[in-house]
């Protein structure tokens, strides 16, 4: 067990208040403002401001530079935050040990996942895990952006796409097929493209998150990249799906986000014979020290179910 690095006089007359102030400071820094830090901790803005003023008064130095919209750390503030972050983390781990989180699945589980994968299958599976583990509570963060697991204190992330080099551990759960789709109304008005070369003559709905892979197709054994004229662009999959359903153009979306629309006929696939793009789906987590049982249980429970669900979706996709 790692030795706890206690700050000098942590538990003097102001010890517990100091610890509270440390936690508030970290929340303010991580969230980017006093008000956002207060929301994270369910504290009022006056209470957060008072805690910061008391901490700076006790230390005799300024930690934060406050503006109307954000905060910045002073040089002393950066050093202080770097020092106290592992201390607070170790104290929180001690709390988890005392509460039995290393003995059985219990406590709050923080999970982040992209909106594209949450629409159809990830969220229902997560709720099934929650129902099977009554001592676990859930904090579910659905974001298009990539959440920093360490900074945001997230236990597990569901990541779609290639993983950059990092210190995170990962379990690959399969691949999400990417398809080109449009509404029946659009295809009736503009015609169904039969070859990627026809895409420049069509309106397009561009999902920014897929731009690195492009609208790439396999034609006679060669990769071919073609783009439609941009009618709508968004970094949110849900916006692109709605725009496609409303007939504003062709969209390129992962099958896990649109299976219901395909089954209902609200969207139709095109260029199926040329599709060649897929994105890997991983469970990622920070592996350091003893892993709480809630995290290990979640990964062991979710990974095979995600694999089975992806196989089912991809099988339906190939036969549609």
178: which 2 tokens?
């990417």
Looking at residue 131, its pLDDT comes to 92
Domain-located, residue 8: no
Choosing from 54, 84, 99, the residue where a domain stops is 99
Q: Which residue has the tokens 């609208």?
A: 215
Looking at residue 269, its pLDDT comes to 92
92 neighbors 292 (Cβ within 8 angstroms): no
Choosing from 74, 99, 124, the residue where a domain stops is 99
In a shared domain, residues 185 and 264: yes
Domain-located, residue 222: yes
306: which 2 tokens?
């995600």
Name, in order, each residue with C-beta under 8 angstroms of 80's C-beta and a sequence gap of 6 or more: 25, 59, 63
Q: In angstroms, rounded to a whole number, what is the distance separating the alpha carbons of residues 49 and 214?
A: 47
Choosing from 62, 79, 99, the residue where a domain stops is 99
Q: In angstroms, rounded to a whole number, what is the distance separating the alpha carbons of residues 261 and 41?
A: 39
In a shared domain, residues 94 and 116: no
Task: Please choose, from the candidates 206, 204, 212, 208, the residue with its C-alpha nearest in 3D space to the C-alpha of residue 235.
Answer: 208
Looking at residue 137, its pLDDT comes to 92
Looking at residue 14, its pLDDT comes to 52
Looking at residue 4, its pLDDT comes to 41
Domain-located, residue 128: yes
Domain-located, residue 307: yes
In a shared domain, residues 177 and 64: no
* H or E stretch covering 132: helix 123-132
In a shared domain, residues 295 and 229: yes
Quote the domain boundaries for residue 282.
104-320
Q: In angstroms, rounded to a whole number, what is the distance separating the alpha carbons of residues 265 and 282?
A: 29
Q: In angstroms, rounded to a whole number, what is the distance separating the alpha carbons of residues 62 and 134?
A: 44
pLDDT along the chain (320 residues), means of 10: 44 62 86 83 86 88 79 88 84 68 75 68 85 90 75 85 78 90 96 95 85 77 91 87 96 85 90 89 82 88 90 64
Q: In angstroms, rounded to a whole number, what is the distance separating the alpha carbons of residues 55 and 61?
A: 9
pTM for the structure as a whole: 0.62
β-pairing verdict for 136-142 and 107-113: parallel
In a shared domain, residues 175 and 318: yes
In a shared domain, residues 231 and 275: yes
Domain-located, residue 248: yes
pLDDT tens digits for range 101-129: 555 778 889 998 876 555 556 788 899 99
Indicate the burial class of 54 (C-beta count within 10 angstroms; 0-12, 13-18, 19 or more): middle
* CATH value at residue 79: 1.10.10.10
- Overall residue count recorded for the chain in this entry: 320
Q: What is the DSSP string of 181-238?
A: EE-HHHHHHH----SGGGGGGSEEEEEGGGGGG-SEEEETTEEEE--PEEEEEES-HH
In a shared domain, residues 94 and 130: no
Q: In angstroms, rounded to a whole number, what is the distance separating the alpha carbons of residues 267 and 251?
A: 10
216 neighbors 276 (Cβ within 8 angstroms): yes
Question: Based on the structure, what is the number of domains in the chain?
Answer: 2
Phi-psi region of 28 (alpha: psi -120 to 50; beta: other; left: phi over 0): alpha
Phi-psi region of 7 (alpha: psi -120 to 50; beta: other; left: phi over 0): beta
Q: What are the beta bridge partners of residue 275?
A: 217
Angle (CA) 270 144 303, round 5°: 80
């Amino acid at each position: 067990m790692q030795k706890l690095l206690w700050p000098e006089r942590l538990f003097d007359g102001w010890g517990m208040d100091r610890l509270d102030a440390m936690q508030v400071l970290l929340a303010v820094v991580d969230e980017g403002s006093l008000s956002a830090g207060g929301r994270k901790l369910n504290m009022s803005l006056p209470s957060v401001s008072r805690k910061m003023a008391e901490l700076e008064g006790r230390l005799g130095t300024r930690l934060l530079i406050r503006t109307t919209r954000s905060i910045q750390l002073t040089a002393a503030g950066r050093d202080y935050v770097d020092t106290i972050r592992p201390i607070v983390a170790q104290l929180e781990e001690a709390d988890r040990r005392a509460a039995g989180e290393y003995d059985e699945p219990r406590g709050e589980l923080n999970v982040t996942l992209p909106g594209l994968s949450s629409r159809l299958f990830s969220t229902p599976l997560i709720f099934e895990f929650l129902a099977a583990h009554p001592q676990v509570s859930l904090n579910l963060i659905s974001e298009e952006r990539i959440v920093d697991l360490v900074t945001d204190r997230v236990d597990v992330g569901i990541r779609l796409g290639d993983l950059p080099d990092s210190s995170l551990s990962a379990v690959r759960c399969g691949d999400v097929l990417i398809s080109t789709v449009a509404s029946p109304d659009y295809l009736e008005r503009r015609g169904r493209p039969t070859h990627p070369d026809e895409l420049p003559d069509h309106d397009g709905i561009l999902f920014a998150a897929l731009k690195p892979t492009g609208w790439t197709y396999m034609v006679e054994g060669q990769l071919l990249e073609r783009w439609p004229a941009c009618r709508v662009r968004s970094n949110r999959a849900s916006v692109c799906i709605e725009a496609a359903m409303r007939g504003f153009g062709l969209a390129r979306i992962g099958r896990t986000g649109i299976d219901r629309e395909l089954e209902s006929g609200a969207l139709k696939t095109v260029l199926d014979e040329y599709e060649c793009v897929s994105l890997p789906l991983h469970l990622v987590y920070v592996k350091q020290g003893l892993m709480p049982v809630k995290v290990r249980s979640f990964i062991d429970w979710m990974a095979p179910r995600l694999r089975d669900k992806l196989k089912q979706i991809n099988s339906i996709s190939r036969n549609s």
